[in-house]
A and B are shown apart, each in its own frame.
Chain A
Amino acid sequence: MKHVRIHLVVNGEDYSLFITPNRVLLDVLREDLELTGTKEGCGLGKCGACTVLLDGRPVHACLTLALQADGCQITTIEGIGEKEVHPLQEAFIDKGAIQCGFCTPGMINTAKALLDANANPSEDEIKQAIAGNLCRCTGYNKIVDAIHSCGCQSEKEKGEVR
């Protein structure tokens, strides 16, 4: 297969890559750039574990051709917090929203896109946003709680942890 050259800006860094056009963004991120924080849970866009931000929008990296991302800004979980841990990450940690952690990168990326667009989402808006991100460990209560606590500081006490 013929190779093509693409340019990606991933977590603020420029990459020039020579790839076959059939490769999905997920594999390029994980294999070529060794950014393994982005996970593959199903390969069919049904679990959300591979969610990354493409020009700020959450996309399934397993269904996105790397070619489609040519020239785009991509944020993966490794770039969410940059030097500091992002408040969303802090909330996921503190609220017990992480068990096995395999869904966490995708979940946090989806939540980040939501909060960037809507600083104070309702519980229903949070659920709308993360409905495509599966978690099999937590039962979602603590995840919704963690996202809610970031959006709405005054209601931070909502989450009851005993």
Chain B
Amino acid sequence: MSQLDIVGKSFPQIAAREKATGETKFVTDLVLPRMLCGQVLRSPYPHAKIISIDTAKAAALPGVKAVVTFQDTPKIKFGPRSEDWTIFASDKTRFHGDEVAAVAAVDADIAEQALELIRVEYKELPYIISPLDAMKQGAPLVHEDKPGNIGAEFKVEAGDVDRAMDDSYVVYEDHFYTNQVYQAYMEPMSALADVDLSGRVSIWTGTQIPNMMRMTYAKALGMSPDSLRIVVPEYGGAFGGKMENNIHLIAAVLAQKSGRPVKLVNTRHDDFLAGNPRVPMHFDIKIGATQDGILTAKDVKVVGAAGARLVYSQVIVATACYRVDSLYRLKNVRAKGYTVYTNSVPTACFRGFGNSQSTFVLESALDELAIQLKIDPAELRIKNGMGSNETSVHGWKIGSSGLRECVTKASKAANWSQKKNNKTPFKGIGLACCNHVSGNRPFAREFDGGSGIVRVGKDGRITVFHGESDMGQGQNTTFAQIVAERLGVTMDMVNVAQVDTDISPFGLGSFATRGTLMGGNGVLAAAKDAYDQMADIAADMLNTKAADVACRKAMFFSKSSSETKISFQDIASEATIRHHGAPIVGTGFYKPPTELPDPDTKKGNISPAYPFGCQIAEVEVDPDTGQVSVTNFVAAHDVGRAINPMATVGQIQGGIAQGLGWTLMENMAYEDGKMINADFVDYIVPSCFDIPDIKAILVEPIEPNGPYGAKGIGEPALNPTMAAITNAIYDATGVRIKELPVNPQKLLAQIQKLGKHVKE
């Protein structure tokens, strides 16, 4: 590859100046003339029959412009994966926070008063919160047509697990639990909806999947997809949480009924109650190895709580069943997954998508094997790790793998061997690895690639259109760098358009760590098309052939005689004149070399590239309280090539901070079927004091399928964090953490039981 001018360099986000000065208009900042304030009435019970709803008094309150319930909706069942949703509860509510009614009023005070005037008569029903209980015979049914509360089942098997397990020198078997945690993006979910005279609905919202959301919502609203438009302004974080959610549809229904624009912003409390937090999971794992530490077989059972409706939990449980198998050279694997309805908030995507849950379990189990075998945990990972150009048990074709390099570099930077061998009481060091995907072929059935449009105006101004989503991670900047590099221009010349489904390509969105690779390759293809059109004109003006033309720093020149140069802007102007006003429009797409997994065996290469990583945590455990603090952190990640190293390091540090919060601090707690800590007073996320210095190491094996060699980083940044910390806790105390989050009292009790409690 020739010398790179833009890719591989640390640029601030292209929107950073606006964000730093308060100029950015986030979704919650948007205002339209005559806009109303929407608010939602939610179920106070985890499970209750709706006897009656009386909205008359609310509707009569001056300033109230619309009151809506299930009766005001098209009454269509819908859902992104499983059609078990309605916009409002119809005959019964299924979780504390379920949508019952909504109002639109001229201001927030009146909307709030109106909610209080809605009379709902409920009859409470028996409820179920634990997925294990929900599977038992006689458990209350969340959906009457779903016996046993089973939302979905998943099965995968390869090799001969029983035989390999029997032949193993060591076998470790245990139960683990990963809890429900909240994404806690700083801007709550929100939507602004407007209806034009033809009945066409526009929704401005922060979403990771504008185009797929549009298809789901069109069905819910009983419209054709072309009657619905989704626009994605800047928005304040998502981490998997901002996909389909009823509040967007409620805003649309309120706008339809009132005939005025309606903005609906979740209170933080509502966002906790009815967002889409992480799928809690129970794991039974059994794993074996030879005396030399070669993994022989893995057998897991996963039970995940879907909450009251399926969002993406069934796909997430499936992911937890098998994605992590491609981290190591496993040959014999079996998994069974159950996604179970419960009377709790519907769970869905949160950075890691099931792979973070299963990575915690596998990487804990691997440390147990290492202990039994008396092998260094780092050595065990190196022995078994997937290498470049290998194919995993599920048919995943690993192009590049920097896994071993991640382990060795992280170990060196953390001074692993020395610290591991020199024990200090209540201080420990732990290591964990991870794999992930850069896009996931089966997530959307029709295709999985990316696309882009690159427009060059007469003035040389470049605008990139894509259909993915910058949720704050800096994707627009990455795309601008890729396009600037390909066109041979400077960063200040490239703008990235806000995603608008009326204009942008049909991108699948930002999930599955797919943005950089899929979207990046899409805009790269579009940039190439635009460049080729401009190079033809440049060749003509430079009296040479297009193949002899190059552009660097926004100047076109002939490679054979670089004396004459013509600016990019002059070529753009000439192109527009020759084309009677038409701008240069480059379009392109990327079709990844992936395949849909076989429905029975699940075998098939689901992603064009697989990122890997290794994280090492150091902890101190307070012998008097059981409190754990993380004192140092090293993370080495195989990112293919970092398009923007500063942004990549930012992803790694942010992912680890979230993983640390999950491991040590965060838990959505229920009492009497109700979430009892649904705000930032009682649900504590990490502050700056909780996060240590995080040293990020970028391992760049240059991925053949990536744009300029890049893979994704979003989710792998968090996947190994939990086990790295809990493995360090084991090193410090001898206690194996099998349940997240770490509970200091329980940890202390276990330490005391082991007799390691030494008071100074």
Contacts and interface: CB of A to CB of B under 8 A. Distances in A.
Given A46-B681, A85-B17, A162-B649, A99 B472 contact: yes
Given A40-B28, A100-B472, A102-B187, A81 B21 contact: yes
Contact of A138 (B183, B650, B680, B687): B650
A143 B20 CA distance: 12
A59 interface: no
B681 A44 contact: yes
Interface string B235-273: 111010000000000000000000000000001100000
Given A41-B186, A44-B680, A141-B691, A162 B698 contact: yes
B654 interface: yes
Interface in A105-124: 105, 108
Contact of B186 (A90, A135, A142): A135
Contact of A101 (B19, B184, B686, B691): B19
Interface in A130-144: 130-144
Interface stretch (A31-39, A66-74, A149-157): A31-39
Interface in B450-492: 471-474
Contacts of A14: none
Nearest to A104: B19
Contact of B187 (A39, A92, A94): A39
Interface in B650-703: 650, 653-658, 679-681, 685-689, 691, 693-694, 698
A103 interface: yes
B222 to A, nearest CB: 34
Given A47-B186, A101-B234, A136 B22 contact: no
A39 B186 contact: yes
B269 to A, nearest CB: 8
Given A42-B680, A139-B657, A162-B646, A78 B184 contact: no
Contacts of B654: 99, 136-139
A43 interface: yes
B268 A42 contact: yes
Contacts of B679: 42, 44, 46
Given A101-B472, A139-B657, A92 B20 contact: yes
Nearest to A129: B688
Interface in A18-59: 30, 34-44, 46-47, 49
Contacts of B10: 96, 161-162
Nearest to A159: B646
Taking each of A40, A76, A96, A127, which has the highest tally of chain B beta carbons within 10 Å of its own beta carbon?
Answer: A96
Contacts of A142: 649-650, 653
Contacts of B497: none
A135 B15 CA distance: 17
A146 B5 CA distance: 26
A61 interface: no
B650 A99 contact: yes
Nearest to B685: A134
Contacts of A40: 28
Given A44-B268, A98-B12, A101-B24, 7 more contacts: A36-B26, A37-B21, A99-B472, A101-B18, A136-B183, A141-B694, A161-B10
Q: Which 6 A-B pairs have the closest CB atoms?
A: A37-B22, A100-B472, A101-B19, A102-B236, A139-B657, A77-B22
Interface of A: 30, 34-44, 46-47, 49, 76-78, 80-81, 85, 89-90, 92-96, 98-105, 108, 126-127, 130-144, 161-162
Interface of B: 10, 12-13, 15-26, 28-29, 31, 183-188, 234-237, 239, 267-268, 471-474, 642, 645-647, 649-650, 653-658, 679-681, 685-689, 691, 693-694, 698
